[in-house]
Amino acid sequence: MLRLAQGRTALSIVNDRIGGPTPAHTNAAALLQMGAILCQQPELARIYHLSSTPDLSWADFAAEIFAQSGDQVTITPISKRDYPTPATRPLNSRLECHKT
C-alpha cells in the first residue's frame, strides 16, 4: 500500500473482500509457542490456522496502514467488480482459528 501510494493523494481500494491481516511478529510468537507445546504433546500435530482480529476489508486495512505511516491518502472504497484481477479471489478469506 505504501508503495502504491507514492506520489498519489487518493486511491480506490476494494472494500468487499474481508480478511484478518496478521503481523509477522504475531506469527513468530505463535509458532514458538506452538512448537514448545508440540514438543511436549506431538499427538497434537496437525494443520492449524492463524490470523489476527479484527477482520477487515482491504480498504479498512489500507486506511490503517496510512494512519500509522502518517501518509495523507484519501481512500475511495470500491467493489471487487470495479477492480478485476486475473486470479479469482474469495470475498471472505477469514480463517477459522479456534483450534489455534
Q: What pLDDT tens digit does each residue of the chain (100 aa) get?
A: 999 999 999 999 999 999 889 999 999 999 999 999 999 999 999 999 999 888 999 999 999 999 999 999 999 999 988 987 888 877 888 888 888 8
Q: Which CATH superfamily is domain 1-20+56-86 in?
A: UDP-galactose 4-epimerase, domain 1 (3.90.25.10)
pTM: 0.76
Domain boundaries, the chain: 1-20+56-86, 22-54
Beta bridge partners of 11: 75
- Nearest 5°: the CA angle 19, 26, 34 is 110
Measured torsion, CA atoms of residues 34, 19, 73, 14, in degrees rounded to the nearest 10: 160
